[in-house]
Homo-oligomer: A and B are copies of this chain.
Amino acid sequence: MYEGVVLAERYFQHTFGNGLTLLAERMPGMQSAAMTFLVNAGAATDPVDRCGSATVLSDLLLRGAGTRDSRQLTDYLDSLGLQRSSSVGIHHMRFGSAAVAAKVIEALPTYSDIVRRPHLPQDGFEAARDLALQALEGIDDEPRQKLMIKLREWYFPSPYGRNTMGRAEDLEKLTLELCKADWQQRFHAKDAIIALAGDVDFGQLREEIERHFGAWNGEAPGDVNVMPPPGRFHHEHQKSEQTHIGIAYPSIPETHADYYTVRLAIEVLSGGMSGRLFTEVREKRGLCYSVWAGYSSLKGSGSIFGYAGTSNERAQATLDCFIAELHRLQSGVTDAELQRAKIGLKASTIMQGESTSARAGAIAHDYFIRGRIRTLEEVKDAIDAVTVEKVNSYLKVTAPGPFTIVTVGPKELKLPD
């Protein structure tokens, strides 16, 4: 299907004078469209003593904007049938919507109101801050989520390892005035990305974005103080039935020529149900009920993250087995393993090509990381080009590590040397 379409007819990319980039993908046969809107206001850009400002803003911005108060805004967006989301990542604040294509377009001026003309009301601020504090408290009831938060904190240099939900002591000191100042400082057109995929018309989109976002101006201050993480090993005591184990170590960035070599090696480790971790740790030894590893990307850096959830008495054996499997990668993968990994990765690329939401997210991510959209063909070709020789010579010279290891549970584990 993709082969039959001239690339220029499927993809569209344009950066306006104010630094905002519009990306679009036409998906024949779809009635829907999806939007991913990224603003350069993620948790890493929170002021150093106001961690959680982004998460409060992501709620507060929706409590009235432009000519609509909070209730009118919510009612209006629902009356378009939009499936909406908003979230805070490390780099970006993200707004997502999906619906019948015409309605997603119709909502664009309202998203302009949300980022450029929010009301930021006092009562809304208090409710938003309370909810953020409650969500933060709730993490103690979710040891798996807690593990992943702690792992990021101990692995990434600050502020890239921040908990995107914020910090309780900072949230308590936050005021509406500080939030307003923060909104003014961070919400600007420069480096913002609006990506749409589905039944869209490039000309109309460009006009609409120009009309509603063209006069959005300014640039967010960009310097961030980077500090090393507190250490590489951490145990978080929790009276729980399970021990949760998190492992992270550095890899190459997505823009590196060997990116798919690494992706496919990790797919051999953890793709499908024939992945080594699943079969060795789970299927053969029954050590744990959940185990995986995956590649994870920040701008300019790549990492491998791994997780295992297991009963307390099997935790040590699970950690040992996990680390052994990571080291065993150095001895290489078989041709059959690589073939399965390639087929699996290509199949999920094809499936992604049938979802407007997945494609809107993918082209936005591509542009942020690489400065351009990749076609599905390009992804497929890059996967096909990886050979077992390439993978094995890469793995041979690339010892996994140094490991950051975080555990949550009732007992500390013995760490590998």
A residues neighboring B (CB under 8 Å): 1, 28-32, 62-63, 70-71, 74-75, 77-84, 98-100, 103, 126-128, 130-131, 134-135, 137-138, 140-144, 239-242, 271-274, 279, 282-286, 288-289, 309-311, 314, 336, 339-340, 343-344, 346-348, 350-351, 353-356
Contacts and interface: CB of A to CB of B under 8 A. Distances in A.
Given A343-B80, A347-B81, A29 B28 contact: yes
List 5 tightest A-B contacts by C-beta distance, closest first: A29-B29, A81-B347, A127-B286, A78-B272, A81-B343
Nearest to A81: B347
Contacts of A77: 272-274
A321 to B, nearest CB: 14
A286 B131 contact: yes
Given A84-B273, A343-B80, A354 B351 contact: no
A199 to B, nearest CB: 10
Q: What copy number does this chain have within its complex?
A: 2
A347 B82 contact: yes
B351 A83 contact: yes
Contact of A354 (B31, B340, B343): B31
A135 B354 contact: no
B71 A279 contact: yes
A271 B351 CA distance: 28
A299 to B, nearest CB: 29
Contact of A347 (B103, B273, B314, B336): B103
A70 to B, nearest CB: 7
A312 to B, nearest CB: 9
18 contacts: A1-B29, A29-B29, A32-B350, A32-B351, A71-B274, A77-B274, A78-B272, A78-B273, A81-B347, A84-B272, A98-B351, A128-B286, A131-B286, A134-B289, A138-B241, A138-B242, A141-B143, A354-B354
A134 B346 CA distance: 33
Given A78-B273, A103-B347, A141-B241, A283 B134 contact: no
A286 B350 CA distance: 42
Contact of A289 (B75, B131, B240): B131
A131 B286 CA distance: 6
B127 A283 contact: yes
Contacts of A356: 354
Contact of A135 (B103, B285, B289): B289
A350 B31 contact: yes
A241 B78 contact: no
Nearest to A2: B31
B354 A30 contact: yes
Given A240-B141, A354-B355, A75 B336 contact: yes
Nearest to A98: B351
Most chain B beta-carbon neighbours within 10 Å: one of A274, A282, A346 = A274
Contact of A311 (B30, B137, B285): B137
Contacts of A239: 239
A152 B23 CA distance: 46
A30 to B, nearest CB: 6
Which one of A29, A314, A347 has the highest number of Cβ atoms from chain B below 10 Å of its Cβ? A347
A140 to B, nearest CB: 5
A221 to B, nearest CB: 31
Contacts of A279: 71, 74
B274 A74 contact: yes
Contacts of A32: 350-351, 354
Contacts of A242: 134, 137-138, 141
B274 A83 contact: no
Greatest chain B CB density within 10 A among A83, A131, A283 is at: A283
Chain B CB count within 10 A is highest, among A127, A128, A346, A351, for: A351
B344 A81 contact: yes
